[in-house]
Amino acid sequence: MIILKTQAEIALMRESGRILAKARRLASEQLRPGITTGELDDIIHSALLAEGATPSFLNYQGSGPSPFPKSSCLSVNEEVVHGIPGNRKLKEGDIIGIDIGVYKDGFHTDSAWTFPIGEVSDEVKLLLRVARESLEKGIERARAGARIGDVSAAIQKHIDAYKFGIVRELVGHGIGRSLHEEPSVPNFGRAGTGPKLKEGMTFCIEPMVNLGTWKVKTKSDGWTMVSADGRPSAHFEHTVAITKSGAEILTVE
């Protein structure tokens, strides 16, 4: 069942999303060679608590073998999603996906962005641009009366044009009182199919785009997903609300 939110509930999610975007900005301002993913996670954790929010991902059980042990998912280079922050030091030319979930006043928001560390190769620059644009194209199609498949097809069309790999194991999702709700929002599919979008729906659109193969595997930690060929992967995600006039992005400052 798809749970529609009231204006008042969407206002709570907007505040949760603002806190999320601020925490991401504070972490991104510290990105440089030599900083560890654990240090970045500490910045995010503190930023959320300072706003009276809690990290949705900390101790999240999901499908993992054990609860997720940190407050953010930080995924470097070939890591697609669900990287566990720790001792890994960033280097010039790396990319890092910062994925944050925020719980505040009964509602979650979820958003990710992939950043370059210093100068990255031209093909990685293109990967980041196309992945970000595919999110934008998906959001453009999200409006009352459209279908989930319209969003999926717009994302897929843009990524396919550059022959990058679209991750299929993981998809976007409804969000609200639960971190993961219906509907599923795949990054591939056919226009005109899937659930119809209605005012009050809130969901995450989150293309995961690989430079090489779309195939992924899970590392021995049971959480971190990596590209099967070890090539870089980018992830961009926003939580949006369907309004009278289109889709409002909630995960912005």
Interacting residues toward Mg ion by CB under 5 A? 99, 110, 112, 204, 237
Shortest Å, Cβ 175 to Mg ion = 7
CB 71 → Mg ion: shortest distance, Å?
13
What is the C-alpha separation between 251 and 74, in angstroms, rounded?
18
Nearest to 242 by CA among 203, 194, 186: 203
Task: With CA atoms as reference, report the closest residue to 142 among 239, 64, 71, 222.
Answer: 239
Helix axis angle for 122-141 and 148-161, nearest 10°, is 160
- 129 contacts 101 by C-beta, under 8 angstroms: no
Query: What residue type is 226 in one-letter code?
Result: V
Give yes or no for a contact between 13 and 202, defined as CB atoms under 8 angstroms apart.
yes
Phi and psi angles of residue 120, each rounded to the nearest 5 degrees, phi first: -115, 165
| Residue 18 near residue 253 (C-beta atoms within 8 A) | yes
Closest approach of Cβ 236 to Mg ion, in Å?
10
Burial 178-206 (b: 16+ CB within 10 A, else e): ebbbebbbbbbbebeebbebebbbbbbbb
Least distance in Å: CB of 100 to Mg ion?
7
**Nearest approach, Cβ of 206 to Mg ion (angstroms)?**
5
**Smaller CB separation from Mg ion, 117 or 204:** 204
**Could you tell me if 13 and 174 are in contact, meaning their C-beta atoms sit under 8 angstroms apart?**
no
Please say which residue, 94 or 99, places its beta carbon nearer to Mg ion: 99
**CB 228 → Mg ion: shortest distance, Å?**
21
